[in-house]
A and B are shown apart, each in its own frame.
Chain A
């Protein structure tokens, strides 16, 4: 069965410091992986997806099939990055399995 694990419920970093939000998954096939973000008083929205190999708001995420990880990284955190981040996995069957989320706080 598929599972998404985000080991950190809370993560605090100082402004300008690097940030890494961890995501590990278990799935027997080739999943599609996503990061969704929920800023304060806003709705959940897509941040990035691994097949796009893009950088959004300075964030990148690389799929590591050997380690079954999809960690989200940013070299220099900004205050506006403070939000709830969810890693999600799609097995391709019109379903999306979410991790439990990590609340990131960037300290000024």
Chain B
């Protein structure tokens, strides 16, 4: 069972570069989320989606864009990376009122 898969697992970017993080889930979940995890800050919600074709802003959306063109995929984009976006990024998926299933994380460093 793959569950929630994130790619890549690690990435180093230079300031100003762009990249896309991919999250894929094979559980037919409606809801998907992108969180970032920073020391002393816990997990903070960046963007989320309640279904294919819909996205919404979370707690810290600035500097990120997302797309949910297919139900199983939720993409997180950084158009112009900044050092403040150095973090560990977690994707999660969920069915209604059920627990979140998390991916294994993407460690991103922006130099």
Interface on A for B, CB 8 Å cutoff? 4, 6, 9, 34, 36, 43-46, 49, 86, 94-101
Contacts and interface: CB of A to CB of B under 8 A. Distances in A.
Given A43-B102, A43-B105, A45-B102, A94 B48 contact: yes
A95 B60 CA distance: 13
Contacts of A43: 4, 90, 102-105
Q: Ordered nearest first, which 8 A-B pairs have the shortest CB separation?
A: A100-B42, A46-B99, A98-B43, A44-B102, A98-B42, A43-B102, A43-B104, A101-B42
Contacts, number: 43
Interface of B: 4, 31, 33, 35, 40-45, 48, 50, 58-59, 90, 92, 94, 99-100, 102-105
A95 B48 contact: yes
B42 A99 contact: yes
A98 B44 contact: yes
11 contacts: A9-B40, A43-B103, A43-B105, A46-B99, A94-B31, A95-B48, A96-B45, A96-B100, A97-B45, A97-B59, A101-B42
From B45, B58, B99, residue with most partner A Cβ within 10 Å: B99
